[in-house]
Copies of this chain bind each other. A is one copy, B any other.
Amino acid sequence: LDVSPSAEARVLVINTGGTIGMMYHNNVLCPEPNALVKALRKLHILHDEQYAQQTKLYEYYEHPENTLVLPLSKQNKRIVYTVIEYCPLLDSCNMTTDDWAAIGKDIEKHYEKYDGFVILHGTDTMAYTASALSFMCEHLGKPVILTGSQVPIYEMRNDGRDNLLGALLIAGQFVIPEVCLYFHHKLYRGNRVTKVDAGSFNAFNSPNLAPLANAEVDIKINWDTVWRANTTAKFRVNTQMNRNVGLLRLFPGITSETVRAFLQPPMEGIVLETYGSGNAPDNRADLLEEFRKATERGVIMVNCTQCLRGSVTTSYATGKALSDAGLVAGCDMTPEAALSKLSYVLARKDLTTQEKKKMLSHNLRGEMIADLEGAKLTLSDS
């Protein structure tokens, strides 16, 4: 038995709630407090009690009652993990900007003591939280991995165990300095994912970026895709987020009244979900006038496609109308990433509106393609 402390990695698990830890009450799933650690302690793939006893693990680490240890990994490491549980546990539908800040602050508080972080979270808004944390976490140097499940870990057939186990193994063993989302054997960049399936274990998709890792028979990291900010600055969490932001999806026959109502103060920024590669009606003077008036009074609008995959461009007359009306091109950002980026940028009181717009159109955390021109076509001799 290998008991060398040098072979141990430490991971902090922040259990915010979500399906993974829910139980049925009257045929409806609800969060179940103070149950997860007890359940994990009984699962051999998620806790090795014999090792804990032999190495006197509980004497060595703080919070022994919430500390567990995985069996020896293929890479001969022991992942020792400590679980913090939020009170109350949250259904992710109920999460707000404040909850994102709370998670961010907890990562910051424990940053030095752990090699990686796993956030247990409901799947419904996990893509929003992952995006928001990716912007809040400035100069991140360690893995922060959100995960959860479609079926509670207490059910017979469930995806919670595999998801938690995979997230722990990656967070404890690989230096991927990103906010990530791990689900169904795949590790994604957090601000690139969206929930695409309400009924399958394969619930998430990263439509415009390949996964960062695949955990099949072996765990394979796609190191070329991992984002490494060119920085040596100290990690910090910026929890300033502007809440006066919104998401507006275009549809045929949308009225200018609806748009005006949606854009009225205190709204300061919206993500407009347009058609195709960033198109909106160009024959609707009433609509375009609402957009123009809003941008003139300082509302910032980001143009994102309502298509799952693709990028906004300006190939069409109907797309050009929007850039003429002052909208920022959202490139290939997901609506979730664009909304949280907007919230993050709008909170920067030191910047002018023009500087904020510029920041929005630049790649900050790998949330959009770095160089739109260069990415499309490289000619052999021109």
Q: How far is the CA of A195 from the CA of B306 in the complex (A)?
A: 8
A349 adjacent to chain B (CB < 8 Å):
no
Residues of chain A at interface, number, CB under 8 A: 116
Given known contacts A75-B379, A261-B262, is B218 in contact with A199 (CB within 8 Å)?
yes
Contact with B along A331-373 (1 / 0, CB 8 A): 0000100010001000000000000000000000000000000
Interface stretch (choices A220-228, A232-240, A293-301)? A220-228
Contact A381 B175 (CB under 8 A): yes
A275 adjacent to chain B (CB < 8 Å):
yes
Q: How far is the CA of A220 from the CA of B369 in the complex (A)?
A: 14
By a CB distance below 8 angstroms, the chain B residues around A156 are 45, 70-71, 73, 165
Interface stretch (choices A51-59, A93-101, A104-112)? A93-101
Contact B251 A218 (CB under 8 A): no
- CB A266 to nearest CB in B, in angstroms, measures 8
A4 adjacent to chain B (CB < 8 Å):
no
Partner of A246, one of B115, B185, B251, B309: B251
Please name 7 pairs of A and B residues whose Cβ atoms are closer than 8 Å in the assembled complex, sorted by A: A73-B156, A123-B276, A157-B166, A198-B310, A199-B310, A221-B378, A247-B251
Chain A residues packing against B (C-beta within 8 Å): 27-30, 42-45, 70-71, 73-77, 91-97, 100, 115, 123-125, 128-129, 150-151, 156-158, 162, 165-166, 169, 173-175, 185, 195-203, 205, 215-221, 223-224, 243-249, 251-255, 257-258, 261-262, 264, 266-267, 273, 275-284, 305-312, 314-318, 320, 335, 339, 343, 375-382
Q: Nearest 8 pairs between A and B by C-beta? A: A198-B310, A124-B275, A261-B261, A175-B380, A124-B276, A197-B309, A93-B318, A196-B308
